[in-house]
Structure 1
């Protein structure tokens, strides 16, 4: 319990000054809790001694009591003001840090770590952390500060009673230790079912179109319902397991409170303490353990927090791609793949690939599905790093550059377009955030999407729905090309940018791509003959190896994959109803 509390304090170290001041306020607050009891005992002692109390003394005591109560609430307010918001501020920073971290890790990281687990950490887990982290610190640290002050206060009047309080604390800690062990066993199970629940929710939401088209609502909801039931079952089981330890903890404190009163009575009967001290101790017995009664609830909450902190730590430890990268000035835009090999896990997909792309030239890469075409582009974009060999841009190994340096030189247009849930203008501005409205419109015109944008009710301020569902595939593709045009990078990667476009939109997309490619170094993955045959060089991949390389007029006359590919495409594209 204490080691997790210290872990939280270490996590919140940027706010250590506020935390320390909060603990000071808690200590002072504890003194203000104890003083009224001492003062009441002194007044009661004078009454029992038959000493006459003047009205001004009564008013003075009343005034002091009021001031002490006010001071207690002021210090409690200051403590909460200093500490309560720390977890919210730290969680906000942590989310931003995770965002910065995830944009710099290799793409394979998202394959090794399920999206739902990352989403759970950033949303559910960090929300849990910001809601409970400082509350647990308050219960454990500030709770034990209070009981320590009260214990020292009792030590002044009776060491016997102080010893009993100490025994109560020890018994409490023993039962909490048992509870903590059980919580440690249950935490992974709780964490797992929560992740499963999030996964099933995302699965239903993402696959709703397929679910409805196959009329599988009941089957899908059955899986979701099972996850809900499992979450309920595990949570109920865990809570039932905690009950005996919770009761043991509270019982030890309540029994010791009763024993304190009995011992105080015996001390009074033996004339070891006076009546006012007896009353003071009796009052103390009812309040002294209040500050640690809630520690039992903190124990299993702290275990959940510990798992969240571990998950955050694992994300922060993920290696970033450009850890040793430098901001390097690129003087020319030749691209070279030298003896490049790469594997996804145990499966090798690129095998000793060598080729060069000259500045301001176009290279087309073709090959069967799964031959490694997109992987070559992903390696150039450093979504992954090569296992062997090197990729050079302008004669410089791209691993020696920062990602920002590399990506400032490249614009990529993919077959699967992703638009953000924002305005069309802001989606285009993603290519150059500081661009003017005139530049945005000019890029949209070059990408052949200005006219359809202006036909929308809100023009460039039209909101793109989640996943861009209020736009057609061709419209989304042209917006993504406008984004790339606005970026104006010297290198263009086109990864089957026209593969899924209908014939009506194809000529518009091709016109937009022609505008994008002017004067650039272009690498194209495509299956369209018109796109391929005009390339300065065509590279044919098969099972991760280059089997042919050359220009269209040469390769078409060589027997092999390219010739067969062109014959097949010519037959299919020439087919008419």
Structure 2
């Protein structure tokens, strides 16, 4: 428990002043919490003394005791208010900071790290896990700290009255603590398993929803939902097993608390019967023992939640420990934009994709990359943008190794237009603004006009304020592609990568997109992956990739005169099975 509290406090270390203030106020509040009980018991003493003629119960005494009780209650309310306003927002602030931090981390790690994790893990971390952290952390921490401060004050108070009473309370706490340690051990063992099952459920749900169109079209709802049902069933079994494992430990913990209450009641009754303790004092101690152990029981019920918070914190830490791909990078500025691959090799896990490739792309020229599907064309572009790092060799941009750059300083020089365009669930204006967040309205419209998308945007009900569905689901493929070109045009980077930008586009949209691409690429260094002859035949250089190697290079005229892969591709054009040029 202490280990987990330390971890949570480290997460909230930026706000330690406010945390310590809350603990101090809690300590004072707990001391003040004893005052009404003492006053109540003192009132009983006065009533008993008055009834047996030992003293007269004066109204002034009742007024004084009532004033003291009211004062202590008001002070506790004031301290609770100060604590709530100063401390309770910490979890919300930490959660916001963690979400922003994770967003920055995901931007700076390699795509390999993202692919090693499943989508459900990131989804639950940023949404469910952090929402749980946000809602539970301060409640649980405050509950546990309050209760154990109350326990410490109570035991000290009992020891002052009677070593027997204090000893009984300590023995009960020791038995209860043994049960708690067993609970903590079980939680530490089972919480990661439970968290993994939650991640699996989230991943299955994401896949099921994203694949719904395929599921419906092939009428495979039952088959598609099998994985979802298995994940649900597995989660149920894990949770049931955890509860069964907790039951004996929880019973031991509660037994210690109940034994403590019984022991204090018996000892107090014996002392009162033997005349060693006044009746009013015995009543106070018995009542207080019930309050004390009920408070501890309530706090210890939070231990399950505390363990779950520990698992969340551990999961967040595993994401934050991810190695930045640009950890040694600097803010490099360049004024020339030639590109060079020197003996570059790369593979995914054990599969080699690129093998010792070398080529140079001079500034302000166009290079087309051609090859069969899976030959490594897109991987070349991914390495240039440093989505991954090459395992061997060197990639240079403007005479600098890409490893010298931070991701931001490298990517500010590169615009990318992909075949599969992703638009965010936001307005068209904001989707275009991704290219240049501080762009003016005039710049946005100019980019949209150059990308041949202004007219269809203005035809929409809300124009540039029209909100598109996630991924751009409310727009056609050609419309999404032109918006992505407008985004790249607004960025106005000196290097442009076009990865199958006109694939799967109808002829009308292709004509508009080709015009937009012409505006985008004017006077820039271009890498184009495409399968249409019209797109590649005018390139200054064509690289033919096969099985991760550059097997041919040259202009269109040079390559068609050679008896190689490129000539065979041209001869069968787009009918060749398995070809995707780029």
For the aligned pair, the TM-score class normalised by the smaller chain equals over 0.9
After superposition, what is the alpha-carbon deviation per residue over 1:527-565, rounded to whole angstroms, capped at 9, x for unaligned?
Answer: 111111111111111111111111111111001111111
Q: Which residue of 2 aligns with 1:22?
A: 22
Separation in 2, partners of 1:296, 1:148 = 15
- Counterparts in 2 of 1:35 and 1:156: CA distance versus 1, 3 Å: farther
Q: Which residue of 2 aligns with 1:256?
A: 260
Residue 193 (structure 1) aligned with residue 214 (structure 2): no
Give the C-alpha shift of residue 316 in structure 1.
Answer: 0.6
Q: Secondary structure at the match of 2:431?
A: helix
Separation in 2, partners of 1:441, 1:506 = 21
1:415-426 equivalences under 5 Å are 415-426=419-430
Q: Secondary structure at the match of 2:396?
A: strand
CA contact 1:539–1:548 (8 Å) conserved in 2:
yes
Q: Which residue of 2 aligns with 1:7?
A: 7
Q: Which residue of 2 aligns with 1:179?
A: 183
After superposition, what is the alpha-carbon deviation per residue over 1:278-313, rounded to whole angstroms, capped at 9, x for unaligned?
Answer: 122122112122221024422222222221111111
Q: Which residue of 2 aligns with 1:543?
A: 547
After superposition, what is the alpha-carbon deviation per residue over 1:254-285, rounded to whole angstroms, capped at 9, x for unaligned?
Answer: 22112211101212233332223212212211
Separation in 2, partners of 1:346, 1:265 = 76
Q: Secondary structure at the match of 2:496?
A: strand
Q: Which residue of 2 aligns with 1:271?
A: 275
Residue 70 (structure 1) aligned with residue 74 (structure 2): yes
CA contact 1:443–1:482 (8 Å) conserved in 2:
yes
Q: Secondary structure at the match of 2:561?
A: coil
- Counterparts in 2 of 1:220 and 1:572: CA distance versus 1, 3 Å: closer
Q: Which residue of 2 aligns with 1:103?
A: 107
Give the C-alpha shift of residue 222 in structure 1.
Answer: 3.6
Give the C-alpha shift of residue 405 in structure 1.
Answer: 1.1
| 5+ long unaligned stretches in structure 1 | none
Q: Which residue of 2 aligns with 1:294?
A: 298
- Structure 1, 237-246 or 393-402: larger mean CA deviation: 237-246
Separation in 2, partners of 1:403, 1:386 = 15
Residue 239 (structure 1) aligned with residue 239 (structure 2): no
Give the C-alpha shift of residue 46 in structure 1.
Answer: 4.3
CA contact 1:5–1:140 (8 Å) conserved in 2:
no
Give the C-alpha shift of residue 570 in structure 1.
Answer: 7.3
CA contact 2:542–2:556 (8 Å) conserved in 1:
yes
Q: Secondary structure at the match of 2:108?
A: coil
Residue number among 125, 128, 131 corresponding to 1:124 in the alignment: 128
Give the C-alpha shift of residue 167 in structure 1.
Answer: 1.1
* Runs of 4+ deviating beyond 6 Å: 570-573
Q: Secondary structure at the match of 2:302?
A: helix
Residue number among 86, 92, 104 corresponding to 1:82 in the alignment: 86
Q: Which residue of 1 aligns with 2:496?
A: 492
Aligned residues: 573
Give the C-alpha shift of residue 47 in structure 1.
Answer: 4.5
1:152-551 equivalences under 5 Å are 152-551=156-555
| 5+ long unaligned stretches in structure 2 | 578-582
Residue 36 (structure 1) aligned with residue 40 (structure 2): no
Q: Secondary structure at the match of 1:18?
A: helix
CA contact 2:31–2:153 (8 Å) conserved in 1:
yes
Give the C-alpha shift of residue 29 in structure 1.
Answer: 1.0
CA contact 1:431–1:483 (8 Å) conserved in 2:
yes
Q: Secondary structure at the match of 1:392?
A: strand
Separation in 2, partners of 1:532, 1:242 = 67
Q: Secondary structure at the match of 1:329?
A: coil
CA contact 1:176–1:295 (8 Å) conserved in 2:
no
CA contact 2:337–2:397 (8 Å) conserved in 1:
yes
After superposition, what is the alpha-carbon deviation per residue over 1:326-365, rounded to whole angstroms, capped at 9, x for unaligned?
Answer: 1122021111111111111111111111111111111111
CA contact 2:173–2:260 (8 Å) conserved in 1:
no
Separation in 1, partners of 2:575, 2:76 = 88
- Structure 1, 283-292 or 359-368: larger mean CA deviation: 283-292
- Structure 1, 178-187 or 357-366: larger mean CA deviation: 178-187
Q: Secondary structure at the match of 1:353?
A: strand
Separation in 2, partners of 1:31, 1:221 = 57
- Counterparts in 2 of 1:319 and 1:570: CA distance versus 1, 3 Å: closer
CA contact 2:569–2:576 (8 Å) conserved in 1:
no
Separation in 2, partners of 1:570, 1:147 = 79
Give the C-alpha shift of residue 60 in structure 1.
Answer: 1.1
Q: Which residue of 2 aligns with 1:53?
A: 57
CA contact 1:339–1:353 (8 Å) conserved in 2:
yes
Separation in 2, partners of 1:310, 1:555 = 56
Q: Which residue of 1 aligns with 2:141?
A: 137
Q: Secondary structure at the match of 1:390?
A: strand
- Structure 1, 148-157 or 208-217: larger mean CA deviation: 148-157
Q: Which residue of 1 aligns with 2:580?
A: none
Q: Secondary structure at the match of 1:384?
A: coil
Separation in 2, partners of 1:180, 1:109 = 31
CA contact 2:354–2:547 (8 Å) conserved in 1:
yes
Q: Secondary structure at the match of 1:108?
A: helix
